[in-house]
Chains A and B, each alone.
Chain A
Amino acid sequence: MRIVAVCGVGVGTSAILKGNAERALDRLGLTADVTASDLAGVREAAADAQVVLTSTELADRVREALGRTWAEIIEVENYFDVEEIGRKLDASLG
């Protein structure tokens, strides 16, 4: 399973999202390959991904950048809320 965490420039907030998504998956007993990407590279990065994680703020831009996709886009409000991330990942993957 592949998950892509996306932010605007791909070096800051997406890294936090990646780290906390891995924590959340761990708690759920799931394993996945989580990578960080910027908006410009998300189409390529998410080509074989099941889930794209991003902030509510960026979700529309991410949808636009992805175009038609199989991946589900999950919007995260608080990047440090591992429970929120876990709940949303569980709903999507479970």
Chain B
Amino acid sequence: MTLPPLPDDAIVLRAEVADWRDAVRAAGHALARSGATMPGYADRMIDVLEEFGAYIVIAPGLALAHARPGPDVRRSGLSVVTLAEPVAFGHPHNDPVRVVLGLAVSSAEEHVASVADLANVFNERDATDRIADAATPAEVRRVLRVAGEGRPATDAAGAPS
């Protein structure tokens, strides 16, 4: 298992977004909130789309937002945003998007392995739908086959914050 953990902080279910920028920004916020990145990483993910187009919509309904490794990446992280209403990213085949994955990695080598794990998950055709329809963070983690906590448990009691 090389995928980064996916704590509740990194998951937003049924987000209300106006457009693709909002959707990517939400995935960036979730990465920052979980401690994986600085807030500025969200803008770099948006830059990738503006520079290269909507190719990050890698399958029907699924966008993989990401940017290069950089100083704004504290550690590898994954975030998941499901959208209350699907939005268009401008992809000719795979629009509209229902699920945005945010990915941050600290090195390219590590990244290739992480992403290969994601490929295993999404090779199951209904994985995107199951995430889009998830009612709890635990359901999302189940589909992605990731753990919730990766950090040493300073707040292991799970007290509500």
B and A form one assembly? yes
Chain A contacts to B: CB under 8 angstroms: 7-13, 15-16, 18-20, 23, 36, 39, 55-58, 61, 77-82
- Would you call A16 and B58 a contact (CB within 8 A)? yes
A-B contact pairs, 16 of them (CB 8 A): A9-B48, A9-B66, A9-B67, A11-B108, A12-B103, A12-B115, A13-B115, A15-B112, A19-B119, A55-B55, A56-B93, A57-B54, A61-B52, A78-B59, A80-B59, A82-B123
Counting CB contacts under 8 A, is B158 at the interface?
A: no
Q: Which residues of A contact B15 (CB under 8 A)?
A: none
In the complex, how many residue pairs between chain A and chain B have their CB atoms under 8 Å apart? Answer: 89
Chain B interface size band reads: 20 to 34
For the complex, give the distance between the alpha carbons of A39 and B68 in Å.
Answer: 13
Chain B contacts to A: CB under 8 angstroms: 48, 51-56, 58-60, 64, 66-69, 91-94, 103, 105, 108, 111-112, 114-116, 118-120, 122-123, 125
For the complex, give the distance between the alpha carbons of A13 and B108 in Å.
Answer: 12
Q: Which residues of B contact A16 (CB under 8 A)?
A: 58, 64, 115-116, 118-119, 122
- Would you call B66 and A39 a contact (CB within 8 A)? no
